[in-house]
Structure 1
């Protein structure tokens, strides 16, 4: 083994060493309680390792048989990584961790993210990928007092291919359970059947705004008006093929939803039964209980003294 040079220039490598083929040697060694290899650079790498091996040789290799870290990195920079790995090939890993029994890669932070993964791929690359080839778990998240796993996405926050088991409570913050239906035909502006609209089913089972009182074909209220969003949407899919102008709406079939209401002839009070109105897309008080059989939309949760406006409805078809 030979030491090539020891320099202290700001832009230079602190120490370089070479080993002859076949040797298992260290470029620079320290004894006792000292550091095995130490390098310091003002504007570049403190220690740099380079390997030209085509069979997996490491540029820098660290080992500790006494229980400490094989390789340790430390930085005080705000956004600088303590350990940085880069892979310039088409396939491979920037940093790879391999363990016989412990964690392959472990991250720990006192005040921020333990492990952070980021991908710039525009074709679906994962920021963090977990895979288990046995019967274990691909990815585990645990928090003593906070959130075990937090996901946020522009299209979907989470995608599960297979069954999902929940052993605790499933907390849904939305106000209703909705189901998607095809809309019959676009009748001008799509707002005609927008959120809050009372809808009925036509002869083909598609949605259209209600246009008559006590209509037994009532399907519910288009979800999403005001501060209420669906907690659960069923049958979410593309429109029926063959309808070029078709689209779909999520209709609240149970739960609380804001609804267009008409109190022009009869005031609406909390607890009143509601039905379809002759005012297109609106609900009204069901004063004729016999006619209301099979045409009830739900119960009013907020009042409306006169005119047309939104009322909060507890949807319950009957």
Structure 2
């Protein structure tokens, strides 16, 4: 039996055993027995590594390289008996670089594979930079594929995003040439995208237009910021202002009224007094929104008689203005609505309750 090679050094800068190969081969070669045993075994009693590998080549190269058996096995395996990682990768380059790099086989396989047998993540990413940055970043293949994919076999989410501050839990930005910021799709009878608020705020918030191809079902109340229900009618002359009383002309387009008790009256142009309509039907470019029902501000003329809340209003000889009905025999078919505010004299705006006539 041959004696094992032993080396002892009392100098921290000098290794106990040194192997050097100047021909491109291994400096030190260790081979364990087929029945078991490490090829190279290292033990440290300090806070440094049991086995350390350094690559000082100016052309780059691995500090430690491991290859698993073709029949199965990891290239590099690490075990930890504490709360620290089994395998740790650190990059101290001031210009940046990857701490751990994993690359799967072209025939299939994850670049990095993580398994957890507890209630914590199989793979976790943390970013401690004071300048901000992603904890986990994923990029899909240019030929197609998600940047990040998650699967769940339970009722929990396939991908979950949580924000412990006051920012978004999940943030999505669509491509500059098209694409949704967040896309949801389902092949069941459940919602493709669902929002729940367990507090007192909104379950959904949109800033911009919303397009719906299909039906909308509302099981609660519908609150709208406007004050009336309107429909767009074709405008017969340009520049008709909000609050104007309009009548239907021979062409079917509307124009400001010019005579009193006109049975061709269409209604009041919505939007005066800074109050927009809540709902507008049949919007089109050359239309004006006519209040069909609700509260709307109306141009009125109280020259002939003052207007009081509760008075019926009709057309007047003052262009685009309403007046109080003083002759009920002439009012049939020409009533605009009922005054909600007063106008003692002259011309001004009156709040009118419009109802189906």
- TM-score category (smaller protein): 0.7 to 0.9
Write the mapping of 1:64-143 to structure 2, written as runs, cut at 5 A: 64-76=116-128, 77=130, 79-87=132-140, 89=142, 91-101=144-154, 102-111=156-165, 112-123=167-178, 125-143=179-197
Distance 2:327 2:295 in 1: 24
**In 1, Cα distance between equivalents of 2:150 and 2:322:** 62
Q: Confirm whether residue 32 of structure 1 aligns to residue 81 of structure 2.
A: yes
Q: More strand by proportion, 1 or 2?
A: 1
Post-superposition shift, 1:47?
2.5
Moved more, 93-102 or 51-60: 51-60
1:181 to 218, 230, 233: 233
Q: How many residues align?
A: 298
* Native 8 Å contact 1:197 1:260 kept in 2: yes
Contact 1:15 1:39 in 2 (8 A): no
Which segments of 5 or more consecutive residues in structure 1 lack a partner in the other structure? 240-246
CA distance in 2, matches of 1:248, 1:13: 72
Find 1:62's aligned residue among 109, 114, 127: 114
The question of whether the paired residues in 2 share the 8 Å contact of 1:4 and 1:18 is answered with no
Structure 2 spans left out of the alignment, 5+ residues = 1-38, 41-50
Q: Shift of the alpha carbon at 1:17?
A: 5.0
Deviation by residue 1:235-269 (Cα, 9 ceiling, x = unmatched): 23x46xxxxxxx11221111011111122222222
Alpha-carbon distance in structure 2 between the residues aligned to 1:281 and 1:55: 77
- Give 1:206's aligned residue: 253
2:329 aligns to what SS in structure 1? helix
Asked whether the 8 Å contact 1:296–1:316 carries over to 2, the reply is no
Q: CA RMSD in A?
A: 3.0
Relative to the length of structure 1, the TM-score reads 0.82
Offset at 1:152? 1.6
> What does residue range 12-23 of structure 1 map to in structure 2 within 5 Å?
17=65, 19=67, 22=70, 23=72
**Alpha carbons 2:232, 2:290 under 8 Å: kept:** yes
Alignment correspondent of 1:314: 353
What's the TM-score, normalizing by structure 2?
A: 0.74
Give 3-state SS (helix, strand or coil) of 1:296's partner.
coil
* Runs (4+) off by over 6 Å: 1-4, 12-16
How far did 1:53 drift? 4.2
Is the CA contact 2:104–2:112 (under 8 Å) kept in the aligned structure 1?
Answer: no
